[in-house]
Amino acid sequence: MTNNLGAGTAVTVVMPTYNEAANLPRMAEAVLQLPLDGLHLKIVDDSSPDGTGRIADELAEKYNTMGRRRMSVLHRTEKDGLGRAYAAGMSLALDEGAEYVVQMDADGSHPVEAVPRMLGTALANGVGLVIGSRYVEGGSLDEDWGAHRVLLSRFANRYARTVLGTRIRDITAGFNLWSAQALRDIDLATLDSAGYSFQVELKYKAVRAGHSAVEIPIRFEERTEGVSKMTLKTQLESAVVPIRLRMKKN
């Protein structure tokens, strides 16, 4: 891809962080090296005790040179769930004029180099959502994932798809590109989910609002630094949310 792709298109990558001090510098560098002229990186830090927020501020100062605001940091005072961190960052990105918003984890599990391909897919097909999918042809998981995690992930997707009656194969995916219009039609302020189930609720409501989704294959990597934020509470929420969404539909 060259920087002629979507020339001038305002794309904001929203990246929530909590104790990602070891990962953030390389992730910020990788994102801001992408050949997209209109790219902006927004970090949403939930008062990380390891100093991630301070590092994010230092990185923003480093990259915001020559009058270009390429990176910004939203500091939140409490850790109340990945979904709410994303919603806050995405809402701010829309207020600042983003035409497309990318969701990306800070742990290196999502392939940064896929972002231009996702944008190209959205522009070429006029869709509201492009999903970096582990479960379409060509998609894959890191071999370091244990068998139990693979089974859990596949089951969670099949379960949510079945309950909600959707054809999206990786409805739990956290690597997504959204059009501004799709996010406005969803109305981020109305979302109920606080944790990982936010991914399911957001996609379901986008499709219900009339937006098409395209899945492109990615390789999902295991994090090399830090620890996973998945807890029993978030897993339980992920089981309940699809049922709640389906009941609301009916």
DSSP-derived letter for residue 236 is: H
* Helix (H/G/I), strand (E/B), else coil: 15: strand
Residue with tokens 């301070």, as numbered in its chain:
54
Q: For 72-82, how does the pLDDT look when each residue is reduced to its tens digit (9 = 90+)?
A: 999 999 888 88
Beta strand pairing status for 71-75 and 129-133?
Answer: unpaired
Looking at residue 160, its pLDDT comes to 83
Q: Residue 238's pLDDT band (boundaries 50, 70, 90)?
A: low
Find the mean pLDDT for residues 191-207: 86
Looking at residue 180, its pLDDT comes to 98
* Helix (H/G/I), strand (E/B), else coil: 24: helix
The C-alpha atoms of residue 130 and residue 118 are separated, in whole angstroms, by 6
Judge whether residue 87 has pLDDT over 90: yes
Q: What is the pTM (predicted TM-score) of this model?
A: 0.88
Find the mean pLDDT for residues 1-16: 78
Looking at residue 8, its pLDDT comes to 82
Find the mean pLDDT for residues 7-15: 92
Q: Are 209 and 129 in contact (CB under 8 A)?
A: no
Give percent helix, percent strand, percent coil of the chain, each to the nearest 5. Answer: 40, 15, 40
**DSSP count for the chain of H helices, then E strands:** 8, 9
Looking at residue 219, its pLDDT comes to 94
**E strands present in 39-83:** 39-45, 71-75
Judge whether residue 15 has pLDDT over 70: yes
